[in-house]
Amino acid sequence: MASNRSIIAKVSTGDMTNGGLLNPAQSNRFIDYMAPKDSFLADIRTVRMESPEFELDFMGLGSRIIRKGVEGVAPDELMSITTSKKSLKTSEVILPYDLTDNVREDNIEHEGVGTHIANLMGTQFGNDLADLAINGDHTVLTSAPDGKFLSIGDGFIKLAKDSSDTHKVDTNGGVDYKGVIFPAMLNALPNQFKARKSLLRFYVSPAVAEAYVDQLAARNTVLGDNSVVTGNVAPFKGIQLFPVEYLPDGVMFLTLAQNFAVGIQRSIRVENQRQARRRLTEYTITMRLDPAKIVYDPACVIAYDVA
C-alpha cells in the first residue's frame, strides 16, 4: 500500500511515472491524506469516483404502510417508495506553486523543504475543498475577492438556500442556540429522520459551538462544567454538534451526515518542472471534483438570518 510519504515524494522529487498520474492505491491514500479522520470531509460522504459522473441515490419508505392480510384477496393499494437521484459531476481544479532555489538552499531543511512544502500543499488542498464545499457559489464574479476560488462550484449553503425542498429556519440574528435556534431546527426536521439521532449532525462554526458550551455552563450543572473543563461539545438532545471552521457564524445545518456528499475523481495528477533560467521548480497538482451535493433535500435544515 502506498504511504503518504511515498505520495508526497512523488510530488517533490519528480517521480513522474505515468506522466504524473497517481495509480489507484496512491490516489486513495492521497484522498485519505486530504480528509483526516476528524475532519468535515471524513464525516460527510466523500465519494471516490472512477469516472466524471456518479449517481447518488436516496431510498426511503413512508410510515403506516402495512395492512391486514385477507386470504384470497389481493391488496387494493400499493405502498410507494420515496426515491431521489442526483449526480456528482466533476470538473478540473488545479493547485500550482513554485519553489525557488534560494528557498531550497537557505531553508534549514535544505532538500527536504520540497517534501515539507508538498506536504503542506496536500493538506491545503483538502482544506480548500472543505471550504469550497461549504461556501462555493458559481454566481460569484471571478473579479470579486476570492471569486476565482468560490466560483468553482456551488457549496452546501447556496444549495440549501436555493432549494425549495430544504427546511429553512430564520435566526433573526439571534444567538440563543440552546433555547431557541437548535430547538427550532430540530422541530423543522421531519420526524422520519429523527429516529436514529446518532446519524444526525448539527454542523456549526467553532464560535457557535463555543457559545453553546458557554450557554450550558451558565446552568451550573455537571454537564455544563464538564463541557467547559474538557472542551468537548455536549450533544443537543442526543445529536452531535460538529464544528466546521469554514462555516460562517450565522449559518447552521441539521442533517444526516451522509446526506452531504463531495465527489473526487481518482485521476489525480502531480507533476513538477524545472525552470533553470528562473532558478525555481514549478509544482502542479490537478484533479477533478464536484464540491458539494445534498443527496436528499427534505432531510436538510439550514438556519440563517434571512433578512
Per residue in 8-45, pLDDT (tens digit) is: 444 444 444 445 788 888 788 778 878 887 789 999 99
Pick from 240, 239, 247, 255: nearest CA to 300: 255
What pLDDT is recorded for position 143? 93
**More confident site: 66 or 215:** 215
pLDDT in tens, 96-119: 888 787 776 665 555 555 556 656
CA distances from 289 to 6, 15, 302 (A): 23, 24, 24
pLDDT in tens, 47-73: 999 999 999 876 655 556 677 778 878
pLDDT in tens, 68-85: 778 878 777 766 666 678
Rounded distance between C-alpha atoms, residue 251 and residue 274, angstroms: 45
Radius of gyration of the chain (CA): 23
Rounded distance between C-alpha atoms, residue 298 and residue 165, angstroms: 5
* DSSP letter string, 111-161: THHHHHHHHHHHHHHHHHHHHHHHH--TTS-TTSTTHHHHTTS--HHHHHH
Q: Which residue has the cell 466560483?
A: 151
Residues 180, 188: contact at Cβ < 8 Å?
Answer: no
How large is the average pLDDT for residues 194-207? 95
Query: pLDDT averaged over the chain?
Result: 83
- The C-alpha cell that represents 113 in the structure block: 523543504
**What distance lies between CA 52 and its chain's CA centroid?**
19
Grouping H, G, I as helix, E, B as strand and the rest as coil, residue 73 is strand
pLDDT band at 235 (very low <50, low <70, confident <90, very high): very high
* DSSP letter string, 215-262: HHHTT-SHHHHHHHHH-PPPPBTTBEEEE-TTS-TT-EEEEEGGGEEE
**What distance lies between CA 103 and its chain's CA centroid?**
33
CA angle in degrees (0–180, nearest 5) for 254-176-160? 30
Residues 20, 292: contact at Cβ < 8 Å?
Answer: no
Grouping H, G, I as helix, E, B as strand and the rest as coil, residue 15 is coil
pLDDT at 206 over 60: yes
Rounded distance between C-alpha atoms, residue 135 and residue 148, angstroms: 13
Is residue 106 classed exposed, middle or buried when 0-12, 13-18 and 19+ CB atoms within 10 A define those classes? exposed
Residues 147, 162: contact at Cβ < 8 Å?
Answer: no
What pLDDT is recorded for position 135? 97
CA angle in degrees (0–180, nearest 5) for 162-167-169? 100
pLDDT band at 6 (very low <50, low <70, confident <90, very high): very low
Rounded distance between C-alpha atoms, residue 265 and residue 54, angstroms: 10
pLDDT in tens, 148-188: 999 999 999 999 999 999 999 999 999 999 999 999 999 99
Question: What whole-number percentage of the chain has pLDDT above 90?
Answer: 51
- Residue 50 has what DSSP assignment? S
Point out which residues pair with 242 in neighbouring strands: 203
**More confident site: 285 or 179:** 179
